[in-house]
C-alpha cells in the first residue's frame, strides 16, 4: 500500500472516478446509449420535417389554385365540405368500400 501513488489513496478522487465510470458505461441513462437515442430521434424528426415541408408546399399550391379558379373552389367546397346552393338538394351516398365486411 505504500507503493501506491497518493492520488490513488484519495477516497474522494476514487469515488468521483467510480461515479464517472458508472455514469458513462453502466447507468440506464449512460452517455453512449443516450447519444444513440438522441441521434435516432433527431433522424426521425428530420424525416418528419421533410414530410411536413412537402405537405406545406402541396397545400400552398392547392391554395393558390383555389384562389385563382372559382370553378375549382366551388368543386372543392362541394366535394370536401358538402356545400350546396340554395335551390339544390344534397344526397350523400355512402361509399361502396367496406360496406359489407369480408368474412
- Please indicate, yes or no, if residue 98 is contained in any of the structural domains: no
Query: For residue 103, what pLDDT is reported?
Result: 46
89 falls within a domain = no
In a domain, 41, yes or no: yes
pLDDT for 29 equals 76
Could you give the number of structural domains in the chain?
Answer: 1
Q: What is the mean pLDDT of the chain?
A: 84
Instruction: Specify if 25 maps to a domain.
Output: yes
In a domain, 26, yes or no: yes
Q: Please return the burial class of 67, using the count of CB atoms within 10 Å of its CB with bins 0-12, 13-18 and 19+.
A: exposed
Percent of the chain scored above 90 by pLDDT?
Answer: 36
CB 31 within 8 A of CB 24: yes
Instruction: Give a yes or no: residue 48 inside a domain.
Output: yes
Cell numbers placing 38: 438522441
Q: Does residue 102 fall inside a structural domain?
A: no
> Each residue of 7-52: pLDDT tens digit?
778 889 999 999 888 887 777 777 778 888 899 999 999 999 999 9
Range of 31's domain?
Answer: 7-81
The answer on pLDDT for 65 being more than 60 is yes
- The phi and psi torsions of 7 (rounded to 5 degrees) equal -70, -20
Confidence check: pLDDT of 99 > 60: no
Amino acid at each position: 500500500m505504500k507503493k501506491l501513488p497518493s492520488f490513488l489513496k484519495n477516497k474522494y478522487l476514487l469515488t468521483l472516478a467510480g461515479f464517472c465510470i458508472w455514469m458513462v458505461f453502466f447507468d440506464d441513462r449512460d452517455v453512449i446509449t443516450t447519444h444513440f437515442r438522441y441521434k435516432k430521434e433527431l433522424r426521425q424528426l428530420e424525416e418528419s420535417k421533410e414530410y411536413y415541408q412537402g405537405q406545406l408546399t402541396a397545400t400552398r399550391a392547392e391554395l393558390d389554385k383555389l384562389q385563382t379558379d372559382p370553378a375549382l373552389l366551388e368543386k372543392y367546397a362541394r366535394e370536401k365540405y358538402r356545400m350546396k346552393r340554395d335551390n339544390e338538394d344534397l344526397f350523400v351516398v355512402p361509399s361502396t368500400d367496406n360496406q359489407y365486411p369480408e368474412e
